[in-house]
Chain A
């Protein structure tokens, strides 16, 4: 057995590695977080267990384990707040429900303001959140000094911190544990997790999908859900339709393991970086995307250099920390920085993509609403505004302000 084959022939005590059946009621394409959560909720909420997740590599090889695990729901638009808040409410119960600790830690997420316009923008967002019943607080620099003592609050830096918005219920979780938790729970309920099974085409008859063509043979399907994140555009092209999605690299980095110095998540759109500290002790950092279209899962070095400059501006205490690792994932960003969920031009073929730089936090909610969409064959009420045809009607859900640097 080659090493590559071995990677997806995981020990059976994690989950079964079944042979594909000739057909399933629902085939979910993409064994990342959202695909696995979709399969789990299909079984748990809708009693649909004749379900397969087909994954080209091993479970979680994509953005599932490349993200920086920030969880929050403080977006600007009502539609987004409803969707992300639905997800946030599921997080605290996940470990118990899935019987696997996902280390969800609501340690608060800070959004720093570095000037009058920043402050106005964040306060507008904060007011929108409060009006929707989502927790949001404004901290003055004096409050910040005690809430996050290592933050540089000096007034004579280039972009002094003038305040911050805080969502206390936001925080971090452990990404690979979330993959394991949903995979195991879905497997226990009878879902077939088919790894090393790449979709290379679709069986479409009279504009209705009948199955998927894979590297492990044809698999029939009553309904198909595409949850391919960075490769959604390629999947759509195989099925014969276009997505207004641009795939591009998003990089992240971690430091060596340090003593605990930071017990919250800090984001700064203006200085252009965000930072948290993992339970194990590494500082986890990231910022914006590399600009170009790519599937290469790596980006350019100067982007990392800019992020580290920003880190040092905000946290001079970290000037001697060593960087341990950097990596990139391919994020699928829509023109309005909101996900695309629901119907496609092909009958019985549904899509869930465009989560871009911010889908980790949405994992349970995305799986929940996509499962209900696949089970009923019509979009869940929460996803109706996120339809693909909003780019024709003009009903865009602009979240660039909440999703560019902040994830």
Chain B
């Protein structure tokens, strides 16, 4: 089980959270079919650090960003600009 640091509540067990997937997706005005398919269905999955969103469902019920390494599951705080 991951030990996830909620910026509001501190370190809590993973089963208090919901996974929100890749973070920082750009807003999407006027897309053609190809771009729309990409926006809807393609998320990045690098073999390494991934900026993603988590939701503290059984806690403060707030969304927050985290960086998680997809090879090791190591969690780190996101860069300043993202939080």
A binds B: yes
Contact B41 A391, beta carbon cutoff 8 Å: yes
Which residues of chain A come closer than 8 Å to B71, judged between CB atoms?
295-296
Interface residues of B in 1-53 (CB under 8 A from A): 1-2, 13-15, 18-19, 21-22, 33-34, 37-38, 40-43, 45, 47, 50, 52
Contact A296 B19, beta carbon cutoff 8 Å: no
Which residues of chain A come closer than 8 Å to B42, judged between CB atoms?
242-244
Query: How many residues of chain A get a CB closer than 8 Å to chain B's CBs?
Result: 22
Q: Is the interface of A mostly helix, strand, loop or mixed?
A: loop
Which residues of chain A come closer than 8 Å to B62, judged between CB atoms?
none
Closest chain B residue to A300, Cβ basis: B1
Which residues of chain A come closer than 8 Å to B13, judged between CB atoms?
302
Contact A234 B1, beta carbon cutoff 8 Å: no
Which residues of chain A come closer than 8 Å to B18, judged between CB atoms?
291
A292 touching B19 in the complex, CB below 8 Å, given contacts A301-B1, A302-B1? yes
Contact A392 B37, beta carbon cutoff 8 Å: yes
Q: Once bound together, how far apart are the Cα atoms of A230 and B2, in whole Å?
A: 21
Which residues of chain B come closer than 8 Å to A247, judged between CB atoms?
45, 70
Which residues of chain A come closer than 8 Å to B33, judged between CB atoms?
392-393
Which residues of chain B come closer than 8 Å to A300, judged between CB atoms?
1-2, 14-15
Contact B45 A293, beta carbon cutoff 8 Å: yes
How many A-B contacts at CB < 8 Å in the complex?
Answer: 56
Q: Is A61 an interface residue (CB 8 A)?
A: no
Q: Is A294 an interface residue (CB 8 A)?
A: yes
Q: Is A352 an interface residue (CB 8 A)?
A: no
A294 touching B34 in the complex, CB below 8 Å, given contacts A244-B42, A300-B14? no
Q: Is A111 an interface residue (CB 8 A)?
A: no
State how many angstroms separate the Cβ of A200 from the closest Cβ of chain B. 12
A234 touching B50 in the complex, CB below 8 Å, given contacts A293-B21, A296-B73? no
Interface residues of B in 50-73 (CB under 8 A from A): 50, 52, 68, 70-73
Contact B52 A246, beta carbon cutoff 8 Å: no
State how many angstroms separate the Cβ of A400 from the closest Cβ of chain B. 14
Contact B37 A391, beta carbon cutoff 8 Å: yes
Contact A246 B43, beta carbon cutoff 8 Å: yes
Which residues of chain A come closer than 8 Å to B38, judged between CB atoms?
242
Contact A302 B14, beta carbon cutoff 8 Å: yes
State how many angstroms separate the Cβ of A239 from the closest Cβ of chain B. 15
Contact A244 B45, beta carbon cutoff 8 Å: no
Q: Is A160 an interface residue (CB 8 A)?
A: no
Contact B70 A295, beta carbon cutoff 8 Å: yes
State how many angstroms separate the Cβ of B28 from the closest Cβ of chain A. 15
Contact B37 A302, beta carbon cutoff 8 Å: no
Q: Is A335 an interface residue (CB 8 A)?
A: yes
Tell which of B14, B22, B41, B70 touches A244, judged by Cβ atoms closer than 8 Å: B41
Q: Once bound together, how far apart are the Cα atoms of A243 and B34, in whole Å?
A: 13
Closest chain B residue to A233, Cβ basis: B45
Q: Once bound together, how far apart are the Cα atoms of A242 and B44, in whole Å?
A: 9
Q: Once bound together, how far apart are the Cα atoms of A228 and B28, in whole Å?
A: 31
Q: Mark A370-407, 1 if CB is under 8 A from B, else 0.
A: 00000000000000000000011100000000000000
Closest chain A residue to B20, Cβ basis: A291
Which residues of chain B come closer than 8 Å to A298, judged between CB atoms?
73
Closest chain A residue to B69, Cβ basis: A296
State how many angstroms separate the Cβ of A248 from the closest Cβ of chain B. 9
State how many angstroms separate the Cβ of A253 from the closest Cβ of chain B. 15
Q: Once bound together, how far apart are the Cα atoms of A342 and B44, in whole Å?
A: 22
Q: Once bound together, how far apart are the Cα atoms of A294 and B14, in whole Å?
A: 15
Which residues of chain B come closer than 8 Å to A295, judged between CB atoms?
45, 47, 70-71
A302 touching B50 in the complex, CB below 8 Å, given contacts A244-B41, A244-B42? no
State how many angstroms separate the Cβ of A180 from the closest Cβ of chain B. 29
Closest chain B residue to A396, Cβ basis: B41
Q: Once bound together, how far apart are the Cα atoms of A392 and B39, in whole Å?
A: 11
Interface residues of A in 285-305 (CB under 8 A from B): 291-296, 298, 300-302
Contact B45 A246, beta carbon cutoff 8 Å: yes
A335 touching B14 in the complex, CB below 8 Å, given contacts A293-B70, A294-B70? no
Q: Once bound together, how far apart are the Cα atoms of A392 and B31, in whole Å?
A: 12
Question: Which residues of A line the B interface, CB within 8 A?
Answer: 233-234, 242-247, 291-296, 298, 300-302, 335, 391-393
A-B contact list, 18 entries, CB within 8 Å:
A234-B47, A244-B41, A244-B42, A245-B45, A246-B21, A246-B45, A247-B45, A293-B21, A293-B45, A295-B45, A295-B47, A296-B72, A296-B73, A298-B73, A300-B15, A302-B1, A335-B40, A391-B37
Sample of 6 further A-B pairs with CB below 8 A, known A293-B21, A293-B22, A392-B34: A291-B18, A293-B70, A295-B45, A391-B41, A392-B37, A393-B33
